[in-house]
């Protein structure tokens, strides 16, 4: 009887040890799978779990993803300038026939890239040694809009000759001239270069999020 009891206790102890070993092994496996995220360990973990990674990296799919950004406005310039508009007579002095207005103008210029113009031939996808690469040639950057902010634009001075009425069109003509001046200022300050760099950064971030390891956006 004593021998049978000892044998039973031995089997129970052995089962408990095996159960504990299995639990510890399972816990270690779980920890390994959760923390094996890079390099050879990640590949081993994927083999154990049978997981595979799939990416839709066909050119039409990438074009569609980028085009969803549509008209990507990447730079907004706030500009201030002073514009003078005047009318004068070839015969009489300005004191008698002149008309002069001085505007303090505030405006905005918005630039970016129209990604709807992106074509399939602008994208090239390659894969070598397990590394997915994508090369993108963006459309040219554009100055989308330049506008005078009428709410923050004001007449600083206005003088009119003694013999002529106030020209009602002079202020609107001067505002239009101010808009052209704002556009020229934005272009000379490099707004198109800034717009392109910002667009490249935005599209690069998008492509990395799609799973590419190397991204070249120009």
Distance, CA of 191 to CA of 77 (rounded, Å): 8
Q: What does the pLDDT look like over 90-143, one tens digit per residue?
A: 888 888 878 898 889 899 999 999 988 988 899 898 888 888 899 999 999 999
Q: Which of 118, 109, 57, 38 is nearest to 80 (CA)?
A: 109
Extents of the domains making up the chain: 2-49, 59-217
Distance, CA of 85 to CA of 172 (rounded, Å): 10
pLDDT along the chain (218 residues), means of 10: 58 70 69 62 60 55 77 86 86 84 90 90 86 91 91 87 84 88 91 93 90 90
What pLDDT is stored for residue 34 in this prediction?
67
What pLDDT is stored for residue 55 in this prediction?
46
Using alpha carbons only, how large is the chain's radius of gyration in Å?
36
pTM (two decimals): 0.63
| Long-range Cβ contacts of 168-172 (<8 Å, 24+ apart) | 170/85, 170/86, 170/87, 170/99, 170/101, 171/85, 171/101, 171/103
What pLDDT is stored for residue 96 in this prediction?
82
């Amino acid at each position: 009887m004593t021998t049978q009891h000892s044998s039973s206790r031995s089997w129970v102890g052995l089962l408990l040890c095996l159960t504990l070993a299995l639990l510890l092994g399972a816990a270690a496996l779980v920890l390994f799978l959760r923390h094996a995220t890079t390099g050879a360990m990640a590949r081993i973990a994927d083999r154990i779990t049978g997981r595979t990674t799939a990416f839709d990296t066909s050119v039409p799919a990438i074009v569609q993803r980028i085009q969803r950004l549509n008209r990507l406005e990447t730079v907004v310039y706030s500009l201030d300038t002073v514009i003078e508009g005047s009318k004068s007579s070839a015969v009489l002095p300005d004191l008698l026939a002149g008309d002069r207005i001085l505007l303090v103008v505030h405006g905005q210029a918005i630039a970016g890239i129209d990604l709807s113009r992106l074509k399939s031939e602008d994208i090239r996808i390659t894969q070598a040694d397990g590394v997915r690469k994508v090369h993108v040639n963006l459309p040219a950057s554009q100055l989308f809009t330049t506008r005078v902010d009428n709410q923050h634009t004001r007449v600083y001075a206005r003088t009119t000759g003694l013999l002529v009425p106030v020209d009602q069109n002079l202020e609107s003509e001067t505002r239009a001239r101010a808009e052209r001046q704002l556009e020229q200022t934005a272009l000379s300050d490099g707004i198109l270069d800034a717009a392109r760099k910002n667009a490249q950064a935005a599209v690069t971030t998008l492509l990395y999020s799609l799973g590419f390891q190397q991204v070249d956006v120009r």
